[in-house]
Structure 1
Amino acid sequence: MEHRIIVAGIGPGNPAYMIPEARHAIDQARCLVGGRRALAQYARKDGASQRCCAITRDIEGVLTFIENSLADSDVVVMVSGDPGYYSLLDALRRRFSVSSLQVIPGISSFQLAFARLALPWHGASLLSFHGRVPDDQALTYGKGRLLGLLTDHVHTSQTIAADLLTRGWPPDTFFAICSRLSYDDESVRVLTLQEAVTCAPVSSCVIVVRG
């Protein structure tokens, strides 16, 4: 039987938010790939019966490791949140056949942020500032528009709030900053857009904006 690549979404961070199927695949993995923090958390401590590879900027090297490992075992690839949103899944699809991929979904930080706010998200535009900037049209103001935004260390709650103000979003716009979701020090702050501009910046979080 041809070996598979099992792409497992590990959720927002806290193991309690990982679905059982993903946890089972990780626990049984003979070959495990993931970020350094995920490997530190989920790789077998003895390491004797498990090969591991950390996902770094050398994506080509990671893909080659996976390809070589498929010769004698399945490979479990851990990705944060859900594999369907800006994860290694895109690169895997370009390198390997879709038939060799099994994807186990995970709870995304977007899902958890909207849940914390008791806010339906079926009409939301989900955008990422992780090393990229959404186009102008995606950030255009519209009454009733709902945005979910991923931030990084450059594009923070403060810089994004200021940018939305310049784009015509009203100062009293609903602006929620959701950080460290699922962890003990989780924080969910609901502000106005104007208040967010004057507050200390928060990075690596989820922002929910409602026009």
Structure 2
Amino acid sequence: MEHKIIIVGIGPGSKEYILPIALKKISTAKILVGGKRALSDYAAPNQLTAPITADIQATITFIREKSATEEVVVMVSGDPGYYSLLPALRAEFPAEKLEVIPGISSMQLAFSRIARPWQDADLMSLHGRLPDYASLSYEAGRTIGMLTDDEHNSQRIAMLLLDAGWPQNTPVYIGDRLSYPDEKIVKTTLIIATAAPAVNNCIMVVLG
């Protein structure tokens, strides 16, 4: 019998944004893999758990060993198909062994908070990645949604966009702690964002 690896998107953070089918998969799992916060939020005492750490290969080895005899549920933040562990798992396991339960990404939530469609937006991640400077070039009417980190934060990215030719008064939304009670969304401009306190690990939506 083939045992599945079930990759479950747990949404942007708050439990209010996780899908019922995701909760069902998590609650019925015998083996549960996820970040420390996810395990703290969702794991039960009777479940065998393993944290996802910086040692991704160790996590994959655990999943491979356990999925030989039992289904393994892997929790990932946001949506599995958007900058998560799914590419690494696809590289190690055949597609038919994987079952993916989608989730709401922080990018989706950011656009919904400002009531903007995002089907025509250019989406990119600077979270743990060096920017492709050519992709930052200004174009009138262009919308960009960006994942950020500690280094490429709201202040640094605003500077990069100005260097790439974006007008100083370009509107930008900065979404911080999305879905949590202390969520904050600030509407500002690029030039103001360069001088304002930096916001790390946020979502930026830039409206050209």
TM-score normalised by length of structure 1 = 0.97
The count of aligned residue pairs is 208
Q: Confirm whether residue 187 of structure 1 aligns to residue 175 of structure 2.
A: no
The runs of at least 4 aligned residues of structure 1 exceeding 6 Å deviation read: none
Structure 1 residue 161: Cα displacement: 0.3
The CA distance in 1 between the partners of 2:164 and 2:87, in whole Å, is 32
Q: Tell me which residue corresponds to 1:163.
A: 160
Q: Tell me which residue corresponds to 1:42.
A: 42
SS at match of 2:110: helix
- Select which of 75, 86, 89 maps to 1:89: 86
- Select which of 105, 115, 122 maps to 1:118: 115
The CA distance in 1 between the partners of 2:131 and 2:83, in whole Å, is 13
Structure 1 residue 135: Cα displacement: 1.2
The CA distance in 2 between the partners of 1:51 and 1:209, in whole Å, is 43
Q: Tell me which residue corresponds to 1:26.
A: 26
Q: Tell me which residue corresponds to 1:196.
A: 193
User: Within 5 A, what are the aligned runs for 1:141-160?
Assistant: 141-160=138-157
- Runs of at least 5 residues in structure 1 that lack an aligned partner in the other structure: none
- Select which of 57, 77, 80 maps to 2:77: 80
Structure 1 residue 72: Cα displacement: 2.1
SS at match of 1:115: helix
Q: Confirm whether residue 175 of structure 1 aligns to residue 172 of structure 2.
A: yes
Structure 1 residue 71: Cα displacement: 2.4
TM-score normalised by length of structure 2 = 0.98
The CA distance in 1 between the partners of 2:157 and 2:60, in whole Å, is 34
The CA distance in 2 between the partners of 1:35 and 1:196, in whole Å, is 31
The CA distance in 2 between the partners of 1:136 and 1:193, in whole Å, is 17
The CA distance in 2 between the partners of 1:106 and 1:69, in whole Å, is 24
Amino acid aligned to 1:95: E
CA offsets 1:39-67 (integer angstroms, 9 cap, x no match): 011000xx2x3110100011111111111
- Select which of 99, 104, 111 maps to 2:101: 104
CA offsets 1:160-195 (integer angstroms, 9 cap, x no match): 001111111001101110010000000000001111
Amino acid aligned to 1:193: L
Q: Tell me which residue corresponds to 2:11.
A: 11
RMSD between aligned residues: 0.8
Structure 1 residue 136: Cα displacement: 2.1
CA offsets 1:101-156 (integer angstroms, 9 cap, x no match): 00000000010000000011110111101111231221110000000000101111
Q: Confirm whether residue 55 of structure 1 aligns to residue 65 of structure 2.
A: no
- Select which of 117, 121, 126 maps to 1:129: 126
The CA distance in 2 between the partners of 1:204 and 1:123, in whole Å, is 23
- Select which of 60, 70, 75 maps to 2:67: 70
The CA distance in 2 between the partners of 1:71 and 1:143, in whole Å, is 53
- Runs of at least 5 residues in structure 2 that lack an aligned partner in the other structure: none
Amino acid aligned to 1:191: T
Q: Confirm whether residue 205 of structure 1 aligns to residue 184 of structure 2.
A: no
